[in-house]
Amino acid sequence: MTPFKQIFAQLLAPHLPELSVEEIINLIEVPPQGLGADLAFPCFSLAKTRGQSPVQISGDIANTIQKTPNTNQNTTSKGPYINISFDPLFVIEKIKEFNTHNSTLSTPKGLVLIESPSPNTNKPLHLGHVRNMVLGNVLARSMTHEGYDIQKVEVVNDRGIHICKSMLAYKLWGNNAEPDKKSDHYVGDWYVRYASEEEKNPELKEQAQSMLRDREDGDPEVRALWKKMNKRAIDGIRETYTRYGTHIDDATFESDVYQDGKEVAEQGLAKGVFVRDPKGNIALPLPINKEETSYFVVLRSDGTTLYATQDLALVDKRFKTYHMDKMVYVVGNEQDDYFRALFKCFKALDYPFASQCHHLSYGMIELPNGKMKSRTGNVIDADNLIEELHQESVEEITRRNPDLDERTAHERAEKIALGAINFFMIKTDPAKGFVFDPAESLSFEGETGPYIQYTYARIGSIITKVKELGTNNQNEKKLETNNQDEKELETTKQLYFHLGSQDEIISKSNTEYKPSTLARYTLDLCQMINSFYQQYHIINPGDLSLTQTRGQVLQDVHTTLGNMMNILGIPRIDTM
């Protein structure tokens, strides 16, 4: 929370005895720009208890608040709102002081486990996995900033019929060959081959099912093939993780835990938490109304397992290992119903962490020509995506800087490609789907990662020029504003208000599990500072004091922008 809500609340508190300071803070709003107010307090909630109109209440209170020397604030009423406007110099110095002591919100807040991206071992990662990775990575970094201890975990789905399909195709037509490409793509090709062959020969379904039974029964030959194909897939996927900056602290394999879930299901049945549904499955009853009940199956009647079987055991195992305070699952919104039911299972089993589990649900991504279908190969996979954007970035960099050496061009291109992908994945509300357009994501204009990188580089370049004039002291704490006119002072104040809200925005994003809030904040900051240095010439050789003032503004924005880029996974670039 910025200090200004606290200051405003303390000014209001003597006039609002029916509310605590915390309640006042929670009611304070940030009004739209152009109203001449920095903060506003709505008086609607006071009307009933006071027997007065909100307009009368706001006017009476505003007229009684005295201006204090240290804040030099102006308190007025407008309709049902009490508005406050602070002196620009007070705002700027207060924010600089606040940010100096709050560079990170380091107060320990507990341990959070974030499960992401949990791939299957029958194909390479696709565009949906990329969004999953980016959401998980940004959430991990933003919660770390707020003071949480984070463990990134995943469950690798390394068993099931989908795994056996790629295994069977390799066995029938692979001739025991070694991969001739990145190993997870090699495995994925056999999965696509199976789909193609099954259309011509439906009997392959039974062969795949037979292979699955043999694997479960421990057949040595099938087990050996399963280990070989899984290792190839996992090795390739780990390479993709590295390129996308994804780190996993603890990976659990489905094959190691699915049997444990059977015991949890049986124990739940014995305790009366679960029941036998009409088909004989062990399930959690979910009443629809007085006459109807649906069932969430946790173990099939024949003893075979589902995802729920392993999740019941795995989350309990994780709690015994980590004693986490929160558990976040980053999974697509097609699993919304599943997680609602799963969390009800946790609660019914009296798991102590049940109320602290959250599903970060996200919408699906479509290509310009429709939805992705990995079964047929109509998909942008993660590796090809970043490589395509990398190569396009190299071409653009080389065009702009023909004398740049090849190594530097490729290093810069990789940062631009990663920034483009990460920002495009994070800027949309997670609950919504969107169409991914690679060309749009690379644009240096609009709401893109490269636009943010360009802004950061541009600001850095101007700061360097200010330093060359010998007028900018990075350790300068007091910002002189006497040489700025009233309009520039107000613009500067609004910039610092935005800078000062960084931690509040991060906390809000974490509470709502909505990283897109951080993307919006960062874009707004870029737009504000671009407008500032276009409107006010930073370098003024005839007025070194003014140059220093404006240069310090850029320096403070540059620092905050760099911090936000780190959280969003947008690599910093000093020269574009």
**Who wins on pLDDT, 106 or 144?**
144
The whole-number pLDDT of residue 101 equals 58
8 Å CB contact between 244 and 148: no
Q: What is the mean pLDDT of residues 549-571?
A: 96
At residue 286, the 3 state secondary structure works out as strand
8 Å CB contact between 327 and 318: yes
**Who wins on pLDDT, 168 or 105?**
168
The whole-number pLDDT of residue 470 equals 74
Q: Give the DSSP letter string of 117-163.
A: ---BTTS--BHHHHHHHHHHHHHHHHHHHTT-EEEEEEEEB--SHHH
The whole-number pLDDT of residue 67 equals 77
- In angstroms, the CA 304 to CA 443 distance is 50
Average pLDDT of the chain is: 92
8 Å CB contact between 87 and 301: no
Least confident of 71-75, 181-185, 209-213, 545-549: 71-75
- Structure tokens of 14? 């003597």
pLDDT of 357 above 70: yes
The whole-number pLDDT of residue 397 equals 95
Architecture of domain 3-86: 2-Layer Sandwich (3.30)
Q: What is the mean pLDDT of residues 172-190?
A: 97
Q: Give the DSSP letter string of 19-87.
A: S-HHHHHHH-B-PPTTSS-SEEEE-GGGHHHHTS-HHHHHHHHHHHPPPPTTT--EEEEETTEEEEE--
Segment 451-487, tens digit of pLDDT:
999 999 999 999 999 998 875 444 444 555 556 788 8
The whole-number pLDDT of residue 106 equals 56
Residue 29's pLDDT band (cuts 50, 70, 90): very high
pLDDT of 405 above 90: yes
The whole-number pLDDT of residue 368 equals 77
pTM of the model: 0.91
Q: What is the mean pLDDT of residues 153-162?
A: 95
Q: φ and ψ at 455, to 5 degrees?
A: -60, -45
Helix, strand, coil % over all residues of the chain, rounded to 5: 55, 15, 30
- Does domain 382-568 match CATH 1.10.730.10? yes
Q: Do domains 3-86 and 382-568 have the same CATH topology?
A: no
First-residue to last-residue Cα distance in the chain: 34
The whole-number pLDDT of residue 459 equals 97
Domain residue ranges of the chain, discontinuous segments joined by +: 3-86, 382-568
Segment 499-529, tens digit of pLDDT:
999 999 999 999 999 999 999 999 999 999 9
The whole-number pLDDT of residue 73 equals 86
The whole-number pLDDT of residue 103 equals 52
Provide the residue type at 301 as one letter: S
